[in-house]
Amino acid sequence: MESEENKLFAQAAHPINWYEVAKLIHENAHALHDMPQGMVTYNDGAKSITRPTPNRSVFLLAAFALENLIKAFLIYENPSYIEGGKLSNQLLNSHNLSKLQKKCKKIPSPKRTRHVFETLEVGVNSWARYPCATAVYRETEERTVTPEFWKCYNNVFELYSKKLEQLLSKKWRGPYGELTSVQFR
C-alpha cells in the first residue's frame, strides 16, 4: 500500500498539471514575442549580427512549453513515472526534446513535427539558456525565431494540446489505480 504522501504527490504530477504549466509557459512566450521589441547588434569587425532582444527568452520559453507538454503525454502513457513520491528519471534531467518526443506513442504526427523539437533543443541545451554554448563542439550560433518557425511552433503546440485534451477527457488510471477524467470548456 502506498503512503498518502505518495498519492498526493501523484495527484500533483497528474498530466493535467503538466499541461497547465505548458500552457502558462506558452502564453508567456506569446506575451514576450508579441511585445514591442528592441534590437541588439553585435559587431566583431568581420561580421554584424542583429536580432530582437527577447529572441533567446522566447526560444527558451517555447522549448520549455513543449517539453512540459511532451512530459504530460509521457505520464499519461506511463503512470508509473509519478509513483513512489518522486518523478522518474525518464522525466528528469533531459531537455532532449526530440528524444522525449520519440518516447511518446500517442502524440499526433510525430515525424511531421519532429523538426520543431530538434530546432528548439539545439538552443535549450546551449545559447538560449546560457550566453554561449556549453562546449566548443556545440552549436553556438543563435537562431532567430522567424515568423515561419513561430507559426510551426504554434501549430505543434495546438495540435498536441488538442490531442492531450481529448485523451484527458477520457478516463485515465493513475499509478495507484485511481480513475480521473478532465472536462475542458
Question: Which residues are CB-neighbours of 154 under 8 A, at least 6 positions away?
Answer: none
Find out whether 56 and 32 touch, Cβ atoms under 8 Å.
Answer: no
Output the domain CATH number for residue 45: 1.20.120.330
Q: What is the pLDDT of residue 74?
A: 97
The answer to whether position 117 is within a domain reads yes
Span 78-108, pLDDT tens digits: 999 999 999 999 888 677 899 999 999 999 9
Nearest to 138, CA basis, from 149, 148, 128 = 128
**CA trace torsion 147, 65, 155, 38 (10° rounding):** -20
pLDDT of 179 over the 80 cut? yes
| pLDDT band, residue 53 (cuts 50/70/90) | confident
- Residue 28 contacts residue 68 (beta carbons within 8 Å): no
- Tell me, yes or no, whether 145 lies in a domain: yes
Q: CA-CA-CA-CA torsion for 58, 62, 63, 67, nearest 10 degrees?
A: 150
β pairing state of 48-52 and 39-43: antiparallel
Structural domain boundaries enclosing 73: 4-177
Cell numbers standing for residue 71: 512530459
**Calpha distance 133→144 (Å, rounded):** 16
Is 40 within a domain?
A: yes
- The percent of residues above 70 in pLDDT, for the chain, comes to 98
Encode pLDDT of 113-146 as tens digits: 999 999 998 888 787 888 877 777 776 677 889 9
Judge whether 182 lies within some domain.
no
Does residue 156 fall inside a structural domain? Answer: yes
pLDDT digits (tens, 9 = 90+) for 14-46: 999 999 999 999 999 999 999 878 888 888 888
